[in-house]
Structure 1
């Protein structure tokens, strides 16, 4: 099931990244392009790790199995890359929430603060900081003398598990970004509902009215997207808490790991087609506005 969901998700995310990269008429499109690229990396890492892991578990002699050796070696790279991409996806959603907040609360300053160039620098900054934040993950797993993957001394260190894997994860990946997303989206929802009727009374066929309507649609779309993101990331958060605070349940409920990973794939799979269809639908309008400006 994971393969059947992740492969279409990779295709959808890649197509979304291509479309957003070709358009880039607004800051949001640049941010969505960055989010799509992070999603591609998450899904590809998942495809490298879990199907091979499941196949390796069914091997009678893992040490002589090519599948197991592929899983062990590929996980050394795919595992930390997936963590970097997940962190990048989380904080890109935060940046998108900030972009929509600026668009709704400060529509005139948006042209100065939220530009495609600014968003490009922000995405690069998010990627750089996520690499630094998840850099220790490259040293959490090693290969033993038989070539099998195993936790390193760093991973087994109680202080490392408590400070980095628990506290920093809860603060940097759960508490802080989720709080920002929920608060900003709550403010945006209130402002959109408050101004919706006012905008309906304006000239419906004016260029300004159409642009305002498109802005509201984009805001609603991003709110739905971040809502899906939060819901699908609750099980992975619970999984991390169990690993840190309830080790007695690690083996008893091992099925939670593929379930949480599957929901991460579902999150990417459900978001990307919606974004792609929205942008394809509005692509001619952008061209029309662009030609007007050139005249």
Structure 2
């Protein structure tokens, strides 16, 4: 009875994983890789790379692409084509890189949240901390920290041959009690779960509270919000990235915490392995969402994307550095020197082809200089 039930459970698990980690995961991975590639191309262009936020999003898109490639190699191909030999060959090489890229993705998401927190909640104090050079430096530091943290995972698994059958097993280093206690339990809970999630939640709550306070103040003052439409779009974009990260990664974190405390015995449960497959798909969705969110919220990103994809020319008044539309006035206001001198003012009027009658010119010439300053200033 037990052997037959185990066989049925294995068949159900294989069929479930073929759908979740096979077809669905591969489709999302391919779409996500294309979207992240377009995001990197657009953000690295001369139209977009001047923004500090875009530097962090560019790095996040690169890390997300590496995460998608790792999922595609270790889960997608294996579950879709039953390629066990290919999986055995690449697992020990891809797994440490995949874990490192996942950690980089987590901390870059936290970095994006901190950057937006500084910009919105500490606009004057944080000016010295926000510059392109500092952004690149922060990205490099985050990457180096994640690489150093994940060095022990290169020695966790190994290939073993028993009865002419090659299997993946935990190495002597990986089965060491100190490694399991530190890397898989306490350090994981602190550096992978507690610190980044705490930073993201604090920044997200603070940003939402600050934006709500600003909006409420503007309503009381009756101030128009049209000028801040672009800034609000970027705020909603980054908040959406953080929200989707929390929505898709929190179940994965919970599973890893349970795995670190209960050990590998949790994988004997069919529901736990199905839950892990769903979490893998959610992680892929998170790594693929940047392009969709950017295209939905950022108008400038859409315009530059159409410029690259469909060779559509940018608007004539599109500024390459700031992305704003310049309003060209046909009439130049006179400066103070023109106001104080009636002769210069008449010459200025003639140069701009103003339709002024003789009576208006006479009235302006006889107006005292103080009145003129009040009129034109």
| Residue 274 of structure 2 is aligned to residue 258 of structure 1 | no
Q: Which moved more, 1:37-46 or 1:114-123?
A: 114-123
Identify the match of residue 69 of structure 2 among 40, 44, 47. Answer: 44
Secondary structure of the corresponding residue to residue 100 of structure 1:
helix
* Distance change >3 Å, CA 16–CA 276, structure 1 → 2: farther
What do the CA deviations read for 1:226-280 (whole angstroms, capped 9, x no partner)?
A: 1110111122112212322234432112212221111101112233311244252
Secondary structure of the corresponding residue to residue 215 of structure 1:
helix
* 1:71 matched residue in structure 2: 87
Q: Which moved more, 1:69-78 or 1:119-128?
A: 69-78
Q: Which has the higher helix share?
A: 1
* 1:287 matched residue in structure 2: 320
What do the CA deviations read for 1:141-196 (whole angstroms, capped 9, x no partner)?
A: 11224543222112222221121111111111111111111111111111111112
| Residue 144 of structure 2 is aligned to residue 125 of structure 1 | no
* 2:176 matched residue in structure 1: 157
Compute the TM-score of the two structures, normalised by the length of structure 2. Answer: 0.68
Secondary structure of the corresponding residue to residue 179 of structure 2:
helix
How far apart are the structure 2 equivalents of 1:55 and 1:155?
A: 29
Q: Give the deviation of 1:199 after TM superposition.
A: 4.9
* 1:29 matched residue in structure 2: 54
* 1:238 matched residue in structure 2: 254
* 1:7 matched residue in structure 2: 30
How far apart are the structure 2 equivalents of 1:29 and 1:234?
A: 25
How far apart are the structure 1 equivalents of 2:67 and 2:168?
A: 20
Q: Which moved more, 1:221-230 or 1:194-203?
A: 194-203
Q: Which moved more, 1:87-96 or 1:112-121?
A: 112-121
* Distance change >3 Å, CA 138–CA 242, structure 1 → 2: same
* 1:104 matched residue in structure 2: 120
Secondary structure of the corresponding residue to residue 150 of structure 1:
strand
Q: Give the deviation of 1:111 after TM superposition.
A: 4.2
What do the CA deviations read for 1:176-230 (whole angstroms, capped 9, x no partner)?
A: 111111111111111111112445744667xxxx3x4322321222112111101
Q: Which moved more, 1:24-33 or 1:148-157?
A: 148-157
Runs of at least 5 residues in structure 2 that lack an aligned partner in the other structure:
1-23, 305-313, 327-377
Q: Which moved more, 1:275-284 or 1:109-118?
A: 275-284
Runs of at least 5 residues in structure 1 that lack an aligned partner in the other structure:
59-66
Contact map agreement 1:69 1:148 (CA 8 A) in 2: no
Compute the TM-score of the two structures, normalised by the length of structure 1. Answer: 0.86
Q: Which moved more, 1:78-87 or 1:34-43?
A: 78-87
Alignment size in residue pairs? 280
How far apart are the structure 1 equivalents of 2:154 and 2:274?
A: 25
Superposition pairs for residues 56-67 of structure 1, below 5 Å? 58=82, 67=83
Regions of 4+ moved over 6 Å: 290-293
Contact map agreement 2:249 2:282 (CA 8 A) in 1: yes
| Residue 112 of structure 2 is aligned to residue 93 of structure 1 | no
Contact map agreement 1:19 1:276 (CA 8 A) in 2: no
Q: Give the aligned CA root-mean-square deviation in angstroms.
A: 2.5
What do the CA deviations read for 1:46-79 (whole angstroms, capped 9, x no partner)?
A: 00001343257x5xxxxxxxx3332112112221
How far apart are the structure 1 equivalents of 2:268 and 2:32?
A: 29
Identify the match of residue 191 of structure 1 among 204, 210, 214. Answer: 210
How far apart are the structure 1 equivalents of 2:218 and 2:51?
A: 21
